[in-house]
Structure 1
Amino acid sequence: MPAAFAIPGDIATVTGGFIYERRLLEGLRAEGREVAHLRLGAGFPEPTPAEMADAVAQMAAVAPDVPLIVDGLVFGAVETAGLSTVRAPVVAMIHHPLALEAGLDAARRRLLFARERDNLALAAHVVVNSAHTAEVLVRDYGVPPVRISQAPPGVDRPDGPAVPSVPPLVLSVGIRHPRKGHDVLLQALVRIGDLDWQAVVVGSDYHAGHAAELDALRRALGLEARVQFAGLVPEAELGRLYRAATVFALASRYEGYGMAFAEALVHGLPVVACRAGAVPDTVPETAGLLVPPEDPGAFAAALRALIEDEGRRATFARGAAQAGARLPHWSDTVAVMSAVLDRLAAR
């Protein structure tokens, strides 16, 4: 049965959410399903009035017998009155509630919470990326569990063997956004300056102001020679970095899932991360060390433990590889959404 998928901005954007939705769209089409891609404004979740009006118009034009998947950046921010005009059965694709984003003021957080709560009441079904996100929606947003399906992101397996670099490489992958905690990582790395290591942070600039703050912090800490902000890199180069890394480190303040952690696991990398959001679900205790968020000292101690102790590092590497082997393929993710669409179409 046909479907439609409303996604804001450029679907080729290299962030976890966009990668997820691009692979989902491609997978649904590959199984023979006709899926219309509604290209909405790039301003979501803070759209201009014109982008809001266009989004509502495009979604309202979808036929009432065609299920409509709506990306979470749109779903949580679109005006409820506008969403209520949509005749198609709506599938909300929620990566994490927008009100849980870092850096919001109290008024904006309250607005996003109320709007997403009210919009969820209009959804025919909700697809989430993790058990953690499902739990949050049930507990805090009043979504009945029967209306939620979990479709964790798939993960591609490595295309070559590990080739560890010398000195040890600390790899971090995540856009330069306050939620990703790169400032915490820098403050942790300076605390282990007596050890031999190099670090690469891969990810585009999401907030120009925050990126400038990170550059200034790296300079102030004297880490310019040891920490590289690589920006966006080609897929082949990212794979090479994963295979060359010794430790994967990302100090996220919150994650609805954390696709970069899954990539690290399938590459058998021991992980240092924060016990925040869905991270403990994605990264089991056998695969690395989780510390409290916003604690550079604890993060540094965990990095030191893995860099200094080769035996402990090897144990966590084995645990990571075992956890990675259990992670889903993209075909599994697509199968969950496909089943949801078929059930809605059958109604």
Structure 2
Amino acid sequence: MTDPKTLTFALPGDITTLTGGYIYDRRMVQGLRDQGRHVDVLALPDSFPTPSDSDMRQALDALQALPADRPVIIDGLAFGALDPQGVAAIRAPIVAMIHHPLAQESALPADLADHLWRTERANLAHARHVMVPSQHTRDMLVDRYDVPADRITVARPGTDRPEQPATPQDPPLILSVGILHPRKGHDVLIAALAALADLDWQAVIVGNPWDAAHVADLQAQIAASGLDGRLELAGRVEADRLADLYRKASIFALATRYEGYGIVFDEALSHGLPIVSTRAGAVPGTVPADAGLLVAPDDAPALAQALRRMLTDPAERAARAAAAARAGAALPSWSDTARVAGGVLDALD
């Protein structure tokens, strides 16, 4: 008999890592514990989704050692890359937490993308249930990975409400928040901002450095564009500074190439910020049409045009900010997200 009150949450590396997926996992664990459930966090090797043979064996040994009556939620960063034969030998009831399919990561070599598509598709067949953050990811798993729709539950990320009122700066602050990774399209945003040198603005890009070479490329691009002094590549910042930046911002911009959800968009909405982004992945389903302007991914001129429109038309910016605030006020809390997950656990056979 499965005991949904006692479970394991397995994920690669450190659960305190500052990315949207890890923030989601951390808040999910806390929310399930707040329900009175006993949740053990199992840290798998941080080399996933491309583990060494020894790391793969270590992860599978740990997962296969879990008792058959204890559900395990496995984060998709590891789950989609696990060896399918090893997953088939896991006795614990599996709930897969798929933020976005691994093969959808940008700039993957074709052979790696194909491998990850095959392993994730095979592993999903072994999951009792699948949780996803968005309808977009749910539809993709049904259409491309053959997961039955009735085995997927959307657990939309929660949002914390701002503790202090907005205090927009002059000149307008353009804020971008997203891990410093090629998928987030910060290079496209920098190129777009370079085309707006005739306007008065300032900008800050916040994000946990993921790859030192990519960060160096972004720094070089900023220097070459002549934006030093107007655009800060802040990297990882403390929570207090991030909250302060959200309060001072007038526009949120992220030139992402793909999102399975994008928690930062909800953060922007909760702060009443109009959004300039792309029509990539789950973004159109996350950003209300009246709260933002969305362009094609990798189109720096279109992104620049959308930002120019926001900067030069205060009335439109105010209207979209009001729409964002209305949408933000209706977003779920993290306890709501955990309640959805709790329902999935309670319904396991």
Tell me the alpha carbon deviations over residues 214-241 of structure 1, each in whole angstroms, 9 at most, x when there is no partner: 1111111111221101111111111110
CA distance in 2, matches of 1:273, 1:180: 10
Match of 2:228 in 1: 224
Are 1:44 and 2:48 counterparts?
A: yes
- CA apart distance, 1:194: 0.2
Are 1:191 and 2:195 counterparts?
A: yes
Match of 1:320 in 2: 324
Match of 2:160 in 1: 156
Match of 1:141 in 2: 145
SS of alignment partner, residue 315 of structure 2 = helix
CA distance in 2, matches of 1:118, 1:28: 28
- CA apart distance, 1:148: 0.3
Q: TM-score, normalised by structure 1?
A: 0.98
1:121-140 aligned at under 5 Å gives the runs 121-140=125-144
Equivalent position to 1:31, from 15, 31, 35: 35
Q: Which amino acid aligns with 1:58?
A: A
1:191-340 aligned at under 5 Å gives the runs 191-340=195-344
CA distance in 1, matches of 2:113, 2:12: 21
Gaps of 5+ in 2: none
CA distance in 2, matches of 1:207, 1:103: 14
Identity %: 54
CA distance in 2, matches of 1:48, 1:9: 14
CA distance in 2, matches of 1:259, 1:37: 22
CA distance in 2, matches of 1:288, 1:342: 38
- CA apart distance, 1:292: 0.8
- CA apart distance, 1:39: 1.1
Aligned alpha-carbon RMSD (Å): 0.7
Q: What is the total number of aligned residue pairs between the two structures?
A: 345
Match of 1:176 in 2: 180
Equivalent position to 2:14, from 6, 10, 15: 10
- CA apart distance, 1:167: 1.1
- CA apart distance, 1:35: 1.1
- CA apart distance, 1:309: 0.6
Tell me the alpha carbon deviations over residues 97-118 of structure 1, each in whole angstroms, 9 at most, x when there is no partner: 0000011010000000001000
- CA apart distance, 1:326: 1.5
Which moved further from structure 2: 24-33 or 151-160? 24-33
- CA apart distance, 1:303: 0.3
- CA apart distance, 1:328: 0.8
CA distance in 1, matches of 2:339, 2:28: 9
Gaps of 5+ in 1: none
CA distance in 2, matches of 1:105, 1:327: 37
- CA apart distance, 1:176: 0.8
Match of 2:73 in 1: 69
Structure 1 runs (4+) greater than 6 angstroms displaced: none
CA distance in 2, matches of 1:131, 1:302: 26
CA distance in 2, matches of 1:165, 1:93: 39
CA distance in 2, matches of 1:209, 1:100: 22
CA distance in 1, matches of 2:51, 2:340: 30
Tell me the alpha carbon deviations over residues 259-291 of structure 1, each in whole angstroms, 9 at most, x when there is no partner: 111100000000000001000011011101001
Q: TM-score, normalised by structure 2?
A: 0.98
1:61-100 aligned at under 5 Å gives the runs 61-100=65-104
CA distance in 1, matches of 2:110, 2:73: 29
CA distance in 1, matches of 2:200, 2:333: 36
CA distance in 1, matches of 2:139, 2:29: 25
- CA apart distance, 1:138: 0.2
SS of alignment partner, residue 192 of structure 1 = coil
Q: Which amino acid aligns with 2:6?
A: P
Q: Which amino acid aligns with 2:36?
A: G
CA distance in 2, matches of 1:330, 1:171: 24
Tell me the alpha carbon deviations over residues 187-244 of structure 1, each in whole angstroms, 9 at most, x when there is no partner: 0001111000000000121111111111111111111221101111111111110010
- CA apart distance, 1:21: 0.2
SS of alignment partner, residue 200 of structure 2 = coil
